[in-house]
Amino acid sequence: MTRRVVVTGLGLVSPIGHNLADVTAALQNSRHGIVTMPQWESVGNLRTRLAAPIKNDPWDYPRKVTRSMGRVSVLSLYATDQALADSGLPTELLTSGSVGLAYGSTHGSSAELESFTRTLFANDGLRGIPGTSYLKFMGHTCVANLAQHYGIRGRVQPTVAACASASMAIGYGFDAIRAGWQDVVLCGGAEEMHFVHAGVFDIMFATSTKWNEEPDLSPRPFDKQRDGLVVGEGAGTLILEEYEHARKRGARIHAEVVGYGTNCDGTHVTAPSAEGMAGVIRLALQSAGMAPEAIDYVNAHGTGTDAGDRAETAAALATLGDKVPFSSTKGHTGHTLGGCGAIEAIFGIATMAHNFVPQTRNLLELDPLCAPLNYIKHEPREQKVNVVMTNNFAFGGINTSLILKRV
């Protein structure tokens, strides 16, 4: 079976806003969420001080709702509550078995894992550790907590794949609906802010450190002076639904998911592969039955790392040519890791709704070793956007590419 898959609900919490209207305005007006983190000065040997945290947490859940949740799960819950409200999906449908769930994060709550291990090793034993601790930092904490909260009885798929977690969840939902396994799938990803996320990349010399006291100037994807990524936090949820199912209940349709590709480089656990990235873009185009010329805008992974940006731009040139508008929104949000695939898919839908393409913040002088593409620099560009491609690449050589289309 091959069925059409549409997006009927959107929800997010991000460094630049907690609803579609606010993040759209931020992208249109070049507002960002990058700040200096003075509290990280106490972390020995951590060189970066830049991050993009959530400002003013918008939720107020009672403890009975969140007692098995760390911050990363609460982020996913808020985004999913928003998406369900936006979709108008009947509450009773969630427990019918026709609704599935696919959700991911890099791992569970880092803050809860830190608390667990500090108590464990301070006491040299388990005294003082709550029974809910593991539920908060287990790898599939988001999807498990969401499934129990909403009473999901359909297929539940954790997607724990670092920076590809959320896009892989959307891809799973797309495949499940097209194949007839589910009528609706709640899809997305989340990441909480914690110094360990910055530390993982800092150890690899992949974080931005040059602008620790000037957060307006970093990250700088594709720019000659870029010096690494900036970690961010947030969550995004998309409600995917079979087209006729959505029409019958009179749902508003934000966009259609028309293509998805995923593959693996199979070469190196951290070094990016232009060949692997190009391969996944071709798979997405093949899935959508589209020629490269059909793409109106590419939301790039574009983290601001040296090797990653060069490989990605080479892959884009080889598969899409040098005409398609190309930008990274991580200059606005930082790298939200397990959440970026869903957050950036929502950004792509915003570009179709408002006919603009966001610029890559801080891209002033292109790295001559990045491929010559149609980069959006300096300010957003007004243009008609009917088809968006959004790409994400993760450690382990795991690559994803999604194509969304205006309906």
Residue positions annotated with a catalytic role: 163, 301, 335
The amino acid that residue 14 corresponds to is S
Burial of 127 (0-12, 13-18, 19+ CB in 10 A): exposed
What whole-number distance in Å separates Cα of residue 250 and Cα of residue 19? Answer: 22
What whole-number distance in Å separates Cα of residue 242 and Cα of residue 286? Answer: 20
The DSSP-derived string for 114-134 is HHHHHHHHHHTSSTT--TTHH
* Secondary element (H or E) of residue 331: helix 330-333
Is the separation of the CB atoms in 222 and 137 below 8 Å? no
* Secondary element (H or E) of residue 74: helix 71-87
Q: Which residues pair with 135 in a beta bridge?
A: none
CA angle at 192 for the pair 333 and 362, rounded to the nearest 5°: 15
Is the separation of the CB atoms in 193 and 231 below 8 Å? yes
Ramachandran sector of residue 348 (left: φ over 0; alpha: ψ -120 to 50; beta: rest): alpha
Q: Enter the tokens of residue 285.
A: 């185009």
Question: From the centroid of its chain, how far is CA 107?
Answer: 14
Task: Tell me the residue ranges of DSSP E strands in 37-165.
Answer: 50-52, 99-104, 156-158
Question: DSSP code of 108?
Answer: S
Among 229, 254, 218, 175, which Cα is nearest to 340's? Answer: 229
Question: DSSP code of 362?
Answer: T
Handedness of CA 84, 34, 57, 37 (dihedral sign): positive
What whole-number distance in Å separates Cα of residue 4 and Cα of residue 188? Answer: 19
Handedness of CA 269, 274, 280, 281 (dihedral sign): positive
The 3-state DSSP class for residue 257 equals strand
Q: Enter the tokens of residue 41.
A: 């000065």
Find tokens 């830049």 and name the residue.
50
